[in-house]
């Protein structure tokens, strides 16, 4: 298998797993995986597809600017520029974006604070935060309709080879060194969001 085929398979398997959790409602979500560094190329989901289905047209390779590397009728994800920002600024190998009810509600509740913090939660260890008083702070940015504008604001919150950013009333994008790590971070975030919502609900009674 070529690197491209390997990466395609890796991303397709992740897509299937996230689809099984119903994390691609209404064709939302997009996924990317790095194929090469020089030149920078990554596979990204084709725009507007039903991501619960597995087809030969699910992904296409794009370059550093998010343009298809070969002639194709497929359109790269509308949010490809966010993935470009990640691969430009970090050595991450995989980036995942999903919309869930939990991540949208959390982004709205804490949106005015510009972040949500988690402390004293076991699952923050997914982000390599091991100290007893460690704090995981997930930025929340406005959902700019203009994607270059959204990507620019998103970019200003990329500071490490792994991370997560919430887009208000839109979804979350996470990145990590490979598919395994990116998926782990995504699952950890969704656990923390669901926990927080359950806690708020109990406290409000
Ligand atoms: C159909 S709603 C979701 C889109 O607007 C977008 O936010 C999204 O996540 C998927 O867009 P796509 O272009 O398929 O990658
Ligand atoms: Zn989206």
How many domains in the chain?
1
pLDDT at 147: 98
Q: Which domain holds residue 60?
A: 3-203
Residue 61 contacts by C-beta under 8 Å, 6 or more apart in sequence?
Answer: 4, 35, 41, 42, 43, 68, 69, 70
% pLDDT > 90, the chain:
99
Task: Give the 3-state secondary structure of residue 32.
Answer: strand
Give the per-residue pLDDT at 159: 97
Tell me: the pLDDT tens digits for 4-58? Answer: 999 999 999 999 999 999 999 999 999 999 999 999 999 999 999 999 999 999 9
**Which string of DSSP letters, residue by residue, matches 39-82?**
TTEEEEEBTT--TTS--TTSEEEEETTS-BSS--S--B-TTHHH
The tokens of 153 are what? 């604001």
Tokens representing 113?
Answer: 């604070």
Distance of alpha carbon 17 from alpha carbon 52, whole angstroms: 9
| 170 is an annotated ligand-binding site residue | no
Would you say the CB of residue 6 lies under 6 angstroms from ligand 1?
no
Ligand 1 centroid–CA 46 distance in Å is 10
Q: What is the pLDDT of residue 85?
A: 98
Complex ipTM: 0.97
How far is ligand 2, taken at its centre, from the CA of residue 123, in Å? Answer: 24
Q: Tokens for 80, please give them.
A: 């490809």
Residue 97 known to bind ligand:
yes
CATH number of domain containing 44: 3.40.225.10
């Amino acid at each position: 298998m070529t690197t491209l085929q390997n990466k395609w398979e890796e991303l397709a398997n992740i897509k299937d797993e996230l689809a099984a959790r119903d994390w691609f409602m209404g064709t939302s979500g997009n996924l990317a995986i790095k194929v090469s560094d020089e030149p920078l190329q990554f596979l990204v989901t084709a725009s507007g597809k039903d991501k619960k289905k597995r087809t030969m047209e699910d992904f296409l390779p794009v370059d550093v600017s998010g343009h298809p590397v070969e002639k194709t009728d497929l359109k790269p994800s509308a949010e490809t520029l966010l993935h470009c920002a990640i691969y430009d600024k970090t050595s991450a190998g995989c980036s995942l974006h999903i919309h869930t009810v939990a991540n949208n509600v959390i982004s709205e509740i804490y949106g005015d604070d510009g972040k949500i913090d988690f402390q004293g939660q076991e699952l923050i260890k997914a982000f390599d935060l091991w100290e007893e008083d460690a704090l995981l702070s997930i930025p929340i940015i406005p959902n700019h309709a203009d994607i270059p504008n959204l990507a620019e604001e998103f970019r200003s919150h990329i500071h490490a080879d792994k991370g997560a950013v919430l887009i208000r009333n839109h979804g979350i994008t996470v990145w990590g060194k490979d598919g395994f790590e990116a998926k782990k971070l995504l699952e950890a975030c969704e656990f923390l969001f669901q926990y927080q919502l359950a806690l708020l609900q109990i406290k409000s009674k």
